[in-house]
Structure 1
Amino acid sequence: MFYLMGSENILLLLIVSVVSSWAADTQLPVTIHPPTDANGGTRDLNLNKDGDNICRKEACVTRAALMLQSMNSSVDPCTDFFEYACGNWMVLNPIPPDYAKWGVLQQMQQQLFAKLRDLMESNVTDTSTARQKARQIYAACMNQSAIEEAGSRPFQAVVHSVMGSWPVLDRGWNASQFNYLNTYRKMGREGQGYLIAAYVSANQENPRENILFFDETSLGLPSKKMYYRAASEKTRKAYMSLMKNLTSLLAEDLNVTLPEDLDHELKDIFDFEAAIANVSFTEEERRDPYRTFHKMTLEQFLDEHFNRTFSKEEFLHALQMVPSNSSVGAAIQLNMTVNVVNPTYYHRLDEMLAGKLAGSNVSEGKRFLASYLGWRMLLNAAGQMSRRYRDAAFEFDKAYSGVKEESPRWRICVDYTNSAMKLAIGSIYVDTYFGMDAKTKLLALVGDIKSSYETILREINWMDEETRVRALKKLDAMYEYIAYPDFILQDVPRLDKYYEKYHIGNVHFENDKRIDIESTAKAHEELLKPSLRTIDEKVAPATVNAYYYPQKNIIAFLAGIMQPPVFHKDYPEYLNYASLGQVFGHEMTHGFDDKGSLFDEEGRLFAWWTNTSRANYMSRARTIVDQYSQYSTSAGNLNGNLTSGENIADNGGVKEAYMAFKQYMKRLNDTMPPVLPGLENFSVDKVYFLASAQTWCGYYRPEYLNNNILLSVHSPYPFRVMGPLSNLPEFAEAFDCPAGSLMNPVHRAGVW
């Protein structure tokens, strides 16, 4: 990682070394003026010496060194701008052994985690009970001796409470004591809704109302494609090995002999899961909100799609008994509105369950279902158990993603705590590292990006006026959520109350179960509340990420992403527009990508487009699909359909940020902004595009890339640079790219 935080002499030495080497390679005249004494909060290393308009603030010098060090100036920028901007970054930044992909954003997250580690391990007095609990959760996660001493006993206790024992390792298992719906109720209270996945979410036609959803189950493998795709054979074999290895470890702990037909039994479990996967949606299908929205009453669902295995009365009773809050259970009635995400899935699942529970050999069917549920529980628990179990799980991860080592324990525990206590961790992080002056600057930047998008919507000629009015209304209603919810700093009693039922102890596995139970109870209680237009309790501020929520029409930019090299309050503004600005634009464009554009200004799934404008939109979206489908990697061509929403957002974000940057330049009244040391011979536009591209410097292990192409909605890093910039004429003009070159194509793709 390349962050220059030492003394002025070290800083000067590094910048001179990097820039001198770069200047020699490129044969360009580069002059570096020496830094002087610190001046103010951020060191000003001899700003504007002799009126040369070079920014020598520490942030500028550091960023300049990073930019120059990352470049491969031997490459023609008009042929491969990603390699030109990032080629040397990948040489100088090998993938750490515990990472499957490595890039600028991963470096930022790693740096953030290091800060969180310091905060978790600091011996401070904190009056907030929520923040105290966060530190307790981290400490229990780090207490490896206690985890090893507990072994699998906490997991065995959970299995005993749910189903008595796991029949795979208990030949005396009594089928007469197994009731699937009772087991479902107990597991559902902990958020483990295997086979039948019921949860509360906003009604897509009325996003201010929460309703019950019946969704597909999660799978043991990451995607249905992996159960059948020939190229995933290695992953399937690793999964089968994982099944046997975890089962063998548990048998050893229970002091029982493995059954002779274990391989056959585990293969039956795998085949059952593969059959479930076969009737589940693909990632591409789940992108269509109309395909996943089938509103009906609960009674209709049970009459038409789930009527073979259980009576309506017994299934309703089981559902009512899942929530720990009896008021939530009482609200679940046959006449209530539900959304059945995939009716075909439930029709087929009902047939499969009926074959097990209502067939000629009910005892064997019960035994099989209990075996399957026990396997899913074991798989889910392995990561929180002793080293032997985690090592077995890691062997699968190596085969799946190519990682060489498990992450250090502190990073695993920081990540876990940040997930379990995201608001409490966010409160500690923001209070320590995030300044209000940065938030003020970010609000101004977002305003400029939004103004650029408004200009685009007003000027495009393929959208009729009726649709344009609705699009502008949606943009105006879009709410920008910056950095963190104010209450985590300003209303600490509210923060403490949010976590008041989280009872944290010294045993990591037990903490994990308590957190699951309490977070599931909170989720269930949403059924009793309206779906408010807020995400205060949903965000994780200490995360390098940004989101768009279509059903709330909110874009969220988390505090964790607002750090170098993507953002710094002392950077010349064009750097912030180029890096963080494109992220803002990306998320804003998600409101108008091929999926987000189906929701109106209030977040309703609603046909607000005229037929003509929608046809024009889809025709233009097809050009993006076709462009990205032609991009090739060592793992094969990109899936332009799966990645279309993100590609539309990437292209829109780059364009909107550049337009906002140009408006900013106009406000300077032809006054040139400060230039970076070593980059004086680059135009501001060239530096802008270089900074934009270097946001995506990074690369992948081969195994991870294979799965990224198969499953990810994001294009690999090179094409997040090449695609959008080749579609922007201003880029080709800045680098004088000849017509017909890869970065200045004759025919450009684009929606906005």
Structure 2
Amino acid sequence: MNIDPCSDFYQYACGNWIKNTIIPEDLTEFGILDVKSYRYKEQLRTIFEGNYQDLLSSTLSPSSFQVDSQENRNIDKMNYKLIKNYYSSCVDVDTYGEEGIPFFLKDLTRLQRELEYQKKWKDSFSISTNIFNLISYPYPTTDGLAIDIGGLFSLEIFSDNKDSTKKSLILTPPKAFTEAENIPLKEFEYQNLIDLTSSVLGLQNHTERDRRRLRLMEDNGIKTFTSERIYDAVDSAITLQTKLFKITNSISDYGHYSYSLSTAEELYPFIDWTNILEHYIPNAKDTLNISIQIYNIEYFNELGYYATIDDPSRPIHMDAIAKYLTVYKIVTEAPNLDSELRQLMPDSPFQTRASLCVEKVLDRFGLAVGRFYAMIASNGESDKINLDTIAKNIKSALIKRIRNATWLDNVTKESAIKKLVMMQTSTGYSTFAPDESSPHDIHRYMQGLKTDFGTFYENDKAVNQWIMRIYWNTLNRALSPTEWIGVTSPQVVNAFNLLSKNSIFVSAAFAQKPNYDKEFPDYLNYAGIGQTLGHEYSHGFDDVGSQYDEYGAERDWWSNATKVKYAEKANCFVKQYSNVSVTDKRGKNYFIDGTQTLGESIADHEGLAAAYDAFLTLKDSGKGYNPVLPGLHHFSSDALFFINAARSFCSKSSVDAEKNSIYDEHAPDSIRVNILFRNNADFSKIFKCPIGSKMNPHKAKCRIW
């Protein structure tokens, strides 16, 4: 290492990794934590292309996952077969795909008939139960699951912000809008979008496939579209999505408004709330008490307005919404029918059919496939015990930091400590509703699911309906703070704080090398997964998390004096981050928005500090495990702690990707690391950074506690 750690610690810790890393061709950036995601996806592909015995052979802890008896293995094999059937039908889509065309066309016809009925008999557009059923798709998010409603909006189920014992339906603009840099339909080559729509609804009969499709359409009374009508539908869909996308990205106030069911029906009649709820949760005891939370109110006001315009001369009107839903259904589902249609998708040049199907299995089966992922990626109970011990030590260190914060008055201090003490921690995989260590529990979880329909389209539809049934049923019962349904899965590389539950979750995929290994010395584990745990605990006290109490309810528990002092401390971070920039290819500087990154900045700083305090306490107790690793004898265990803590942020990206990262809630990794360690007095002491050096400037160091 020829770089001075007191000059640029990010390059000191990550320089060699960056130099030797090649960004995969389908990505614009690649981080050190992405490596394990690629590796385990490949392992899962091998398992689903093999057999159940392959899975057993790869299981790290058979006793933890209860596969040490023949009865349990038989049950587990049945669960495995359900997923394997789905995967096989996905991979073999060219063999069986065309068999799914009649089923897809029938669903598309049902949608068109519903839309035509509305056009003929209603004064405004509304999403009825029948339409809702035909345009709803599970949409995996970084922190759980959403339901995509025809590309018009997304729906999630969470605890109510004001009362965590109650449920809320959360409505947001489409998740694809908030996660995309560009308008999704414009990611297509325009002609590909036309060709995709024509391949389903067009008049052309150039191939045997076309002729077979046309016969099916005629037999089922399905109307074909002329070329002119196809262009009109696609153009209308692009126009509407462009308008909605721009509304989503132009709003500065992302606050939410909470309504009763009756008020939501009055304000947003384009959604048939009552009938939809009665359809999905028919045995619900009290749907009237479910609150509806609307995020980005302007978006839904505009959408509701468009649903009432019955004037085809206007660029956006109720008929444009109908055309949009038709095109969206084709774009979402038709590529599942065969590889020819799949080739028209924007991402197709970079993704093999097998990798696409692994992604679908991981997304669709969530906790069910999460069991199999955990079996090959986790040491089960022993990892849980180790992680829980690290978490307990991190929490104790953070409690001590809060207790020593002299700027907090006693009442606020005790409230903060109470919140942290009550914060739940769930690591690795779910052990409740369902218990992923139990084959029998997963079997109950998958009850009623069939994946032997013979076509991928039917299998995918059946799995989607199963997911929706499970998800909607969470509205009708109390949820445990550590319940994973609708939250995350073991195979998702993530760790996060769910503020509404006052709980943190760390997946099995995240608790892997280089973050964690049961054989690692403490200085590596505490710098890796320990720093992450500290980070997630600290989110409970960032600019947003600090507004939630120990029960996950949104409530102000700060005294007026401490709120003022907290704001001063938070502003220190805002100023620091807002003063740095990234440079594009033309030499133009783009400055970080320190307010936008504030939550992550606070969590980074307090998480690292708590992890190091916990590591020191364990080391000083004489109970730690800190052997010198080969080739690293010239580093102290403290120095190795900080090096590994920095390495978890190592990433390589294109110049454009780094420029775009300034719009993220996380600062670009190089900036993130250097400011983080610059503010840590223990780092400067360990690396002997002189006052006035880049990593130990004269300016005061920012901290909360």
How many angstroms apart in 2 are the aligned matches of 1:88 and 1:196? 44
What does residue 750 of structure 1 align with?
A: 703
What does residue 326 of structure 1 align with?
A: 282
Aligned match for 2:160, one of 203, 213, 218: 203
How many angstroms apart in 1 are the aligned matches of 2:25 and 2:18? 15
Aligned match for 2:309, one of 352, 355, 367: 355
What does residue 91 of structure 2 align with?
A: 142
Distance 1:608 1:639, change over 3 A: same
How many angstroms apart in 2 are the aligned matches of 1:219 and 1:681? 48
Determine if the alignment matches structure 1 residue 90 to structure 2 residue 35: no
Aligned match for 2:426, one of 461, 476, 481: 481
CA contact (8 A) 1:589 1:648 kept: yes
Aligned match for 2:241, one of 273, 282, 295: 273
CA contact (8 A) 1:246 1:392 kept: yes
Determine if the alignment matches structure 1 residue 298 to structure 2 residue 244: no
5 Å matches for 1:245-256? 245-256=192-203
TM-fit CA distance, 1:613: 1.2
5 Å matches for 1:501-540? 501-505=448-452, 506-537=454-485, 538-540=487-489
How many angstroms apart in 2 are the aligned matches of 1:583 and 1:89? 21
Q: Deviations over 1:202-239 (max 9, x none)?
A: 211111111334x2331764469x5xxxxxxxx45981
Distance 1:644 1:499, change over 3 A: same
TM-score (normalizing by structure 1): 0.78
What does residue 60 of structure 1 align with?
A: none
Amino acid at match of 1:496: H
Amino acid at match of 2:450: H
Q: Secondary structure of 1:468's partner?
A: helix
5 Å matches for 1:415-426? 415-426=359-370
How many angstroms apart in 2 are the aligned matches of 1:698 and 1:283? 30
Q: Secondary structure of 2:509's partner?
A: helix
Q: Deviations over 1:467-520 (max 9, x none)?
A: 101000001101111211235355432211111122213422322222222222
How many angstroms apart in 1 are the aligned matches of 2:492 and 2:447? 23
What does residue 639 of structure 2 align with?
A: 686
How many angstroms apart in 1 are the aligned matches of 2:28 and 2:115? 34
Q: Deviations over 1:323-353 (max 9, x none)?
A: 344334x8544x7543333443333322221
Determine if the alignment matches structure 1 residue 470 to structure 2 residue 415: yes
What does residue 400 of structure 1 align with?
A: none
Amino acid at match of 1:413: C
How many angstroms apart in 1 are the aligned matches of 2:408 and 2:172? 37
What does residue 338 of structure 2 align with?
A: 386
Amino acid at match of 2:544: K
Determine if the alignment matches structure 1 residue 700 to structure 2 residue 645: no
Distance 1:416 1:701, change over 3 A: farther
TM-fit CA distance, 1:81: 1.0
5 Å matches for 1:97-116? 97-116=25-44
Determine if the alignment matches structure 1 residue 664 to structure 2 residue 612: no
Q: Deviations over 1:695-728 (max 9, x none)?
A: 1221123444344333x32222223321211110
Aligned match for 2:127, one of 181, 192, 217: 181
Q: Which runs of 5+ in 1 are unaligned?
A: 1-72, 168-172, 227-234, 398-404
5 Å matches for 1:41-190? 73-124=1-52, 126-128=74-76, 129-146=78-95, 149-150=98-99, 154-164=103-113, 175-176=119-120, 180-182=126-128, 184-187=131-134
TM-score (normalizing by structure 2): 0.83
More deviation, 533-542/647-656: 533-542
How many angstroms apart in 2 are the aligned matches of 1:552 and 1:199? 15
Q: Which runs of 5+ in 2 are unaligned?
A: 54-73, 138-146, 205-225, 585-589
Q: Deviations over 1:14-61 (max 9, x none)?
A: xxxxxxxxxxxxxxxxxxxxxxxxxxxxxxxxxxxxxxxxxxxxxxxx
TM-fit CA distance, 1:625: 2.1
CA contact (8 A) 1:180 1:366 kept: no
Q: Deviations over 1:375-432 (max 9, x none)?
A: 222333355343343333235x8xxxxxxx5133333322221221122222223334
What does residue 600 of structure 2 align with?
A: 646
Amino acid at match of 1:577: Y
Which runs of at least 4 in structure 1 moved beyond 6 Å after TM superposition? 281-284, 360-364
CA contact (8 A) 1:631 1:638 kept: yes
TM-fit CA distance, 1:588: 1.0
Q: What's the Cα RMSD here?
A: 3.2
How many angstroms apart in 1 are the aligned matches of 2:312 and 2:92? 50
How many angstroms apart in 2 are the aligned matches of 1:570 and 1:317? 54
How many angstroms apart in 2 are the aligned matches of 1:612 and 1:600? 18
How many angstroms apart in 2 are the aligned matches of 1:517 and 1:474? 38
Q: Percent identity?
A: 24
What does residue 448 of structure 1 align with?
A: 393
How many angstroms apart in 1 are the aligned matches of 2:519 and 2:187? 53
CA contact (8 A) 1:295 1:339 kept: yes
Number of aligned positions between the proteins: 639
What does residue 227 of structure 2 align with?
A: 259
More deviation, 424-433/95-104: 424-433
What does residue 494 of structure 1 align with?
A: 441
More deviation, 497-506/146-155: 146-155
CA contact (8 A) 1:219 1:273 kept: no
What does residue 344 of structure 1 align with?
A: 298
Q: Deviations over 1:289-334 (max 9, x none)?
A: xx21x2332233344x336x79xxxx4554356x344334x8544x
CA contact (8 A) 2:197 2:327 kept: no
How many angstroms apart in 1 are the aligned matches of 2:437 and 2:378? 14
Q: Secondary structure of 1:548's partner?
A: strand
Distance 1:220 1:583, change over 3 A: closer
Q: Secondary structure of 2:691's partner?
A: coil
What does residue 555 of structure 2 align with?
A: 606
How many angstroms apart in 1 are the aligned matches of 2:604 and 2:302? 38
Amino acid at match of 1:411: S
Q: Secondary structure of 1:201's partner?
A: strand
CA contact (8 A) 2:163 2:553 kept: yes
What does residue 70 of structure 1 align with?
A: none
